[in-house]
Amino acid sequence: MPLRQSSIPRGAEMSMYRRVTYGDLAEFNILDTRQYRDDQANNDGNKPPSFDSTDPSRTILGQEQKRWLYDGLRRSQSIWNVLAQQVFFSQVDHQAGEVKILPMDGWDGYSAERNEVVEFLQKQHISNPIVLTGDVHTNWVFDIKSDFDNPNSTTVGAEFAGTSISSGGDRASSLHPDILYIENPHLKFFNDQRGYVRCTVTPQYWRSDYRLLDYVSRPGAPITTAASFICENGRPGIRRVSENV
C-alpha cells in the first residue's frame, strides 16, 4: 500500500503510528497494534481469559507508543479524539454461558493494558473518545465500558469496527448474533456483509453509517445504509438513529 517517505523502514524499524489533526474538530491517533506488542496469549485464537492474557506486564502498544498516545491525548484541543487501529478494542465474548471465549489477537489478549487506557480516558477527561477498528472483516458497534463485565458501569466512548470491502465474499461469518448480543450487552450492532462505514463529524455529533452490499461476487449489487449510529458531543454512548434507509 502507499506509504509516506517518512515511513520507509530504517533497518528493522518501521514507524507507522502517527497523528492527524483537523483543527479543533477531530484528532486521529493512528496506532500500530502489530509491531510492538507481546506475542498473542494462549497461542492465539479465541480462548478463555488466563493469567497470560490478563498479565499487567503485557503490552499491545509498546511503552514508547503508549507514552506518545497519552501525551497527545492530554494535549489535544479537539472535540473528537480518535484511536484508529487494527483489532477489537472492546471485549467480545463468543460463547454462551459463564465461561468467556475471547479473541486473543485483540485487546482481550492484553486486557490489563486496555483497562489502563480506558481508565486514562476517564481520569484525564479526554473529550469524546472514538475507536475505529479494522481487520475483523465484519461490522460491529460497541459502547466502551469502564468495566466490560458490568453493563451498568460508566460508558466512556464508542467503537466502530468496519468490514472488508470484498474479502470473505458475500458472507464471511459463522458467528451467531443472538449469542453475541446476549453475552456482550455493550454490543449495539453486528453484521457480516461487505461494504464500508461512512462517518460524518460535526462539532455537535459523530455519525457512522454502515453502507452494505447484499453480494460482491458479481457486479450490480445495490448499496444500502443498513444502520446508522450517533454519538453526541459530551454524552458518551451510542444511539441508533435509523436502519434500512
Sheet architecture: strand order including 205-213: 194-201, 205-213, 223-232, 235-243
* C-alpha closest to that of 197 among 159, 235, 148: 159
pTM for the model stands at 0.94
pLDDT at 168: 87
Predicted local confidence at residue 239, as pLDDT: 97
Report the pLDDT value the prediction gives residue 10, as an integer from 0 to 100. Answer: 72
User: Which residue numbers in the chain have pLDDT < 70?
Assistant: 1-3, 7, 11-13, 242-245
pLDDT at 3: 65
Per-residue confidence (pLDDT) for residue 131, from 0 to 100: 98
The domain spans of the chain are 5-193
Nearest to 196 by CA among 170, 163, 161: 163
CATH topology classification for 5-193: Purple Acid Phosphatase; chain A, domain 2 (3.60.21)
Sheet order of strands, 80-85 included: 18-22, 26-30, 80-85, 129-133, 155-161, 139-145, 187-191
